[in-house]
Structure 1
Amino acid sequence: MTFRDTAWPEGTPCWVEVRVGDPKHTSAFYGALFGWDFLDRGEEYDHYLTASLDGRTVADIGPRFGEPANAPSAWLVCIAVESADAVAERIVRAGGTLTVAPTDVGTHGRFAVAADPGGAVFGIWQADEYFGAEVADVPGAAVWHRCLTRDFGAAQAFYVEVFGYTVTPEPSGSGGPDGGGPDAAAGVVLRLDGRPVAGLARAGAGAVSHWLVTFGVAELATAVAKVTASGGSVLTGPYDTSRGPSVLVADEQGTPFEVVAVSAAT
């Protein structure tokens, strides 16, 4: 269990959000699955719905902006930074691209969106009044984040250069949503000061580069049943990972994410 009442260290995934065609409908899906409550941030913040778990924030669900109605939705992983402008410059120097330049989000913080050299999209977040998730590593909250990439070498070099990560091999026998095997064996753990903060692995055949969020659940089979009962789908799994048996699922609007059983006392 991780409680957070101050800004996350630079380089740590600190927040996740998803933009969908119908945020209210999607909030009902996640509320049923994770027990989330929601706060509508109002017109100033485009009616983003901030999800909380037992009073602590965990995620945002927001509306699409200028995207095709049939464009696939995806969870956006936001990485904490001390200066969004400085890190945005490092992103470009390291071969990434900025899709949203650093911009203030009211009094909450400063935000940018980028893509790594393999095309995986992520956000960076410079906290002001709003520092991100207030709880992690419990059922109903994010427990892990990893980038699945079509260009493993370039992606690894990029994240090391931008965020100063050290890299260690993923534990032997760890698998992933693409079924394990050679791709999973090539995965690595990205670390800050020796602490694991994210993973990096090869994307499966035909998949685009992307970041994947893993949410904790109390019991895997029960969570999967709730996903399908609420209009979501099972994409693959269960498969073995270093965190335990996991399942890749999608919400009722097709947004993929992973679930794994964790203890509330983790």
Structure 2
Amino acid sequence: MRQDGKIDYLELPGGDIDRVKAFYGNAFGWSFVDYGPRYAAFDEGLDGGFDADAAKAVPLPVLYAQDLEAMQARVEAAGGTIVAPIFAFPGGRRFHFKDPAGTELAVWSER
């Protein structure tokens, strides 16, 4: 069961999705679910995905929230900076924020 504030997903930069999938498939036996030609998801101990359109070449930890609006308010009240307000994506909605050290994370919900 998903829980508020727990790491739930890890999004990685994908670049050439076919090449990345071939590498992880051959090296580690991973399998993928494609969500269009630019995104491939995996479930290999921790759910995650490769995003060919990632703006930065760094991993993006994604936390979970049952109530996305309430979690965004909590993040802001705690001193986080919202860098992408709530938006829809295939599978749900999410927002991105930076913590006080400048690390970017996201929070998602299926609602």
TM-score by length of 2: 0.83
**Once the two structures are superposed, what CA deviation does each residue of 1:107-145 show, in whole Å capped at 9, x if it has no partner?**
x121111110110111111135xxxxxxxxxxxxxxxxx
Q: Counterpart of 1:110?
A: 93
**What's the CA shift for 1:19?**
2.3
Q: Counterpart of 1:121?
A: 104
Q: Which sections of structure 2, spanning at least 5 residues, go unmatched?
A: none
Identity %: 25
Q: Which runs of 4+ in 1 moved over 6 A?
A: none
SS at 2:32 equivalent: strand
Alignment of 1:87-106 (within 5 A): 87-106=71-90
Q: Counterpart of 2:49?
A: 60
Q: Match for 2:50: what amino acid?
A: I
**What's the CA shift for 1:29?**
2.0
**Once the two structures are superposed, what CA deviation does each residue of 1:152-207 show, in whole Å capped at 9, x if it has no partner?**
xxxxxxxxxxxxxxxxxxxxxxxxxxxxxxxxxxxxxxxxxxxxxxxxxxxxxxxx
CA distance in 1, matches of 2:63, 2:85: 15
Among 39, 54, 77, the alignment partner of 2:33 is 39
Equivalent pair of 2:8/2:47 in contact (CA under 8 Å): no
SS at 1:15 equivalent: strand
After superposition, the CA RMSD in angstroms is 2.2
**What's the CA shift for 1:92?**
1.7
CA distance in 2, matches of 1:76, 1:115: 11
**Once the two structures are superposed, what CA deviation does each residue of 1:212-233 show, in whole Å capped at 9, x if it has no partner?**
xxxxxxxxxxxxxxxxxxxxxx
Q: Counterpart of 2:42?
A: 51
**What's the CA shift for 1:57?**
7.5
Higher RCO, 1 vs 2 (CA within 8 Å, ≥6 residues apart): 2
Alignment of 1:1-266 (within 5 A): 6=1, 8-42=2-36, 47-53=38-44, 58-65=47-54, 67=55, 73-106=57-90, 108-128=91-111
**What's the CA shift for 1:103?**
1.3
Whose radius of gyration is greater, 1 or 2?
1
Equivalent pair of 1:52/1:58 in contact (CA under 8 Å): yes
Number of residue pairs matched? 111
CA distance in 1, matches of 2:28, 2:97: 28
TM-score by length of 1: 0.38
Residues 1:57 and 1:13: Cα distance change in structure 2 (over 3 Å): closer
Residues 1:9 and 1:24: Cα distance change in structure 2 (over 3 Å): same
CA distance in 2, matches of 1:48, 1:10: 25
